[in-house]
Amino acid sequence: MKKDKTIANPSRRRFLVVGAAASGALVVGWRTATAQQALPYLGARIEPAALGVFVRIEKNGDIIIGARGCEIGQGVKTSLPMLIAEELDVDWNRVRVEQLPYGYIDTDKGPGHKYGDQGAGGSTSIPTAWKDLRQAGATARWLLLVAASAKLNLPAGQLHAESGNVIAPDGTKLSYGELIDAASKLDPPTEPRTLKKPEEFKVIGKPTPTVDSRAIVTGQTQYGIDAYLAETSIAVVARSPWIDGEIASLDDTEARKVPGVKDIVRIAGPKPGDVFDAALADGVAVLATSTWAALKGREKLKIEWKPGPFAEESTDALRRQADDLLKPANADKAVGIRRDGDVDKARKAARKTIEARYTVPFLAHATMEPPAALIHVEKDKVLLVASLQDPDGASEVINAVTGVPRAKIEIRMTRAGGGFGRRLKNDYIAEAALIAKQTDKPVKLLWTRDDDIRHDFYRPFCVFQMAASLDRKNEIAAWSARCAATPRNHRDKGMKERPLWNGTLAPDDFPAGLVPNFDLSLLSLESGQPRGWWRAPVSNATAFAVQSFIDEIAVALKQDPLALRLKLLGEPRELPYKGHGGPVFDTGRMAAVLNAAAERISWKRKPDKDRGLGIAGHFTFGGYAAHALEVSAIDGNVVVHRAVCAIDVGHVVNPLGLEAQAIGGTIDGLSTALNLGITLKDGKVQQSNFGDYPLLRMGQAPVDVEVIVIDSGKEPSGAGEMALPSALPALTNAIYAATQVRIRELPIGDQLRKIL
């Protein structure tokens, strides 16, 4: 999931600072630079309250490390502090992790951060922190070594740090707690410290349980939906069922009679065609003393809605629109994305051309914790407590709605019950602010599951027309992919200046650069539905089409599907990759995960009767993943007997967390392929809850997901999204191997039961 950044990159003007807390603890963190501060690092004396604290060392030796990222289940509350602890040279069991709030700060050069990038999207948390946070830990360690050097009258170069102690050549130990007074009086180094080599790691690379796992399983963890303040009103909203619909009439007489209902207020959605940068829809908010009263009050509202301009939109109409655009006569309407060689010439000379069409639906996010926000808007300040992925955006939207300066907006970040890209949009924060602005008390906005599924920013609807031309040697001489899709940049302020195809297709994705003649283009479908980043955006759709089509080519050529993929990848080398996750795509790393998955599932064996093996791999945001599945589909009932996921995300910070993400991504991919799709009729979303948008049930899930972690030693990528894309085509390829039925449209649903 990608993030649209509007705040300037703070890394170029961030300074390490040290100080002493009131307790005497040593604190180390960032402060944003001013115009007078021009060096990369500069010693400073500032009050602890102004310090962006990453590390605090108490006199008793306790280590407190701040977790800056949005924890949405991807594990950054554990993995990011691990980076600091590694360079600090402390025992992890002495570390206490505390969630940092959002750290906005004004500077004379514009908005900045106390803590660096705090958002969660695009699997960027680890890559952006890899050197950043380790440098904070290394600096704290350096301060302690220098303090010990003075105390022991020995050169700092003769000392080393280990397990929270500084140790002299003769074995003399000084605990960090003994050194904090002297260390807190030192200026930070003027140059970045040398970071550890991977072979020196003691914390990074070790399986580490989630820091708040006990609190989670015992029900003590506070999610955004749990937040509460005294005198809080609970709010729910009745929203227009049509995009850009309006309130024609409202009678709230009966709703106001419901015991506990305190007030009813209107909120405005965007005007037709405007960007979606505040509330998503016109609505009526019911404020009450309890959730029950608010919901009962909403039921009693009598609202007549005026449909918007997309009141006749339907999934069937989108299909017809795609069919028409994909006709050869409309080729001139396509937006060219990448063109290598001459596809038309290669096609004319080809021995054979293979074609296939693949369709993927709109998808909702369906996070287990629906959107919610606790907000208190006062004249000169605002407090927000919510589950977020983009606190920058939340700060901006509150400022836009209330006029309160961003420096006066306090945002407390909680653990989130899933994100998957949904919380990169802050429409629910805008709604809460619009409601709270009309009252002087705190407001807690709650969405129901029905609200969540019917008012989402959906994964784009796409139809892929694929064609491959084979030469006289049965080599793929040309590859063409035309995609008719609802473009991702629709009414998105952050994507206004980007190409139409951005967020829907990727120019350098496999097999670009691997076939001599290659053509990729986009045809734009008209749709009013809001669109957003959905877990592993772009890859979640294109991997299904590309990896399914590779299998179809292999079948036509009577070749092994794995062998064809490896042949296309060729010798290990790095190809330019300009998209997110670049700057290169490494064919050797891709081949390695494919081979590892194939070996684990015993690819060359003949499976049992009625079973089939499927394989697929994909490069997502800098990480490489492959799936190998063994399935059966007797009477159309798909059973996944084995699921293997091989993954390479470079240096692994927390193997336990990576394994969990690989398992979760695999399950999410299977769930999506089997069951999930958003459909439209008369301009309205047809799905409303898990009854008609059914996530994977335990009975459908594989008993185990076998995860193979390949540590290639490369710079780390994230891990939250890489394991989803290839799970979908691996499943449908395995279904074909078991049944000879090719799935070209998702979700699978009851397609097989109608055929078998």
Task: Give residue-wise pLDDT tens across range 192-225.
Answer: 899 999 999 999 999 999 999 999 999 999 999 9
Per-residue HEC secondary structure of 362-427 comes to EECCCCCCCCEEEEEECCCCEEEEECCCCHHHHHHHHHHHHCCCHHHEEEEECECCCCCCHHHCCH
Sort 558 into a burial class: Cβ within 10 Å, 0-12 / 13-18 / 19+. exposed
**What is the number of other CB atoms lying within 10 angstroms of the CB of residue 217?**
10
How wide is the angle at C-alpha 265 spanned by C-alphas 262 and 267, nearest 5°? Answer: 150
Tokens of 57: 């060392």
Can you tell me the distance from the alpha carbon of 268 to that of 86, in angstroms, rounded to the nearest whole number? 49
- Residues ≥6 apart with Cβ < 8 Å to 421: 1, 121, 365, 389, 457, 532, 533, 534, 535, 537
| Per-residue pLDDT at 22 | 60
Report pLDDT for 33.
41
Output phi, psi for 700, to 5 deg: -90, -20
Write out the residue limits of the CATH 3.30.365.10 domain(s) in the chain: 10-202, 224-309+371-446, 326-362+457-755
Cross-strand bridge partners of residue 539: none
Percent of the chain, pLDDT > 90? 86
CATH second-level architecture of 10-202? Answer: 2-Layer Sandwich (3.30)
What pLDDT sits at residue 3? 47
Q: Is 306 exposed, middle or buried (0-12, 13-18, 19+ CB in 10 A)?
A: middle
Find the helix packing angle between 132-152 and 176-183, rounded to 10°. Answer: 90
Alpha carbon distance, N-terminus to C-terminus of the chain: 37
pLDDT of residue 57: 86
pLDDT single digits (tens) 610-626: 999 999 999 999 999 99
Chain position carrying tokens 């937040």: 227
Per residue in 311-343, pLDDT tens? 999 999 999 999 999 999 999 999 999 999 999
Element (H, E) at 302: strand 302-306
pLDDT score of 19:
67
Q: What is the pLDDT of residue 39?
A: 27
Residue range 481-506, pLDDT digits in tens: 999 999 999 999 999 889 999 999 99
Instruction: Answer yes or no: is pLDDT of 461 > 90.
Output: yes
pLDDT digits (tens, 9 = 90+) for 416-446: 999 999 999 999 999 999 999 999 999 999 9
Question: Using CA atoms, how far apart are residues 576 and 295, in angstroms rounded to an integer?
Answer: 54
Is the model's pLDDT at 137 over the cut of 60? Answer: yes
What residue has token string 């499976």? 607
Partnered with residue 26 across adjacent β-strands are 20, 57
Sign, CA dihedral 240-241-245-250, equals: negative
Length of the chain: 756
Query: Which CATH class, in words, describes the domain spanning 326-362+457-755?
Result: alpha beta
Q: What is the mean pLDDT of residues 464-469?
A: 98
Q: Given a cut of 80, is residue 577 above it in pLDDT?
A: yes
Confidence band of 5 (pLDDT split at 50, 70, 90): very low
Q: What is the CA radius of gyration of the chain?
A: 27
- Reply yes or no on whether the pLDDT at 9 is more than 60: no
Judge whether residue 644 has pLDDT over 90.
yes
- Calculate mean pLDDT across residues 694-715: 95
Question: What are the structure tokens assigned to 25, written together?
Answer: 């603890």
Largest CA distance in the chain: 84
Residue 576: C-alpha distances to residues 2, 573, 589, 624, 711 (Å): 20, 10, 14, 15, 22
34 pLDDT band, cuts 50/70/90, is very low
Read off the pLDDT of residues 245-257 as tens digits, 9 standing for 90 and up: 999 999 999 999 9
Q: Which two tokens stand for residue 218?
A: 């015992």
Name the β-bridge partners of 469: 353, 478
Beta strand 476-485 pairing with 517-524: parallel
Tokens 């299904």, located at residue = 544
Confidence (pTM) = 0.93
Burial level of 5, CB count in 10 A (0-12/13-18/19+)? Answer: middle
pLDDT of residue 516 exceeding 50, the answer is yes
By mean pLDDT, which of 52-66, 302-316, 481-495, 735-749 is the weakest?
52-66
Chain center to CA of 559: 36
- Model pLDDT for residues 149-181, shown as the tens digit of each residue: 999 999 999 999 999 999 999 999 999 999 988
CA angle 506, 509, 511 (to 5 degrees): 140
- Tokens coding 613: 């093996």
Mean local confidence (pLDDT), 399-422:
97
pLDDT of residue 49: 33
Instruction: Give me the sign of the Cα torsion angle 526, 531, 534, 539.
Output: positive
- Local confidence band at 30 (pLDDT 50, 70, 90 cut-offs): low
Distance CA 469, CA 484 (A): 21
Confidence of residue 113 (pLDDT cuts 50, 70, 90): confident
What's 224-309+371-446's CATH class? alpha beta
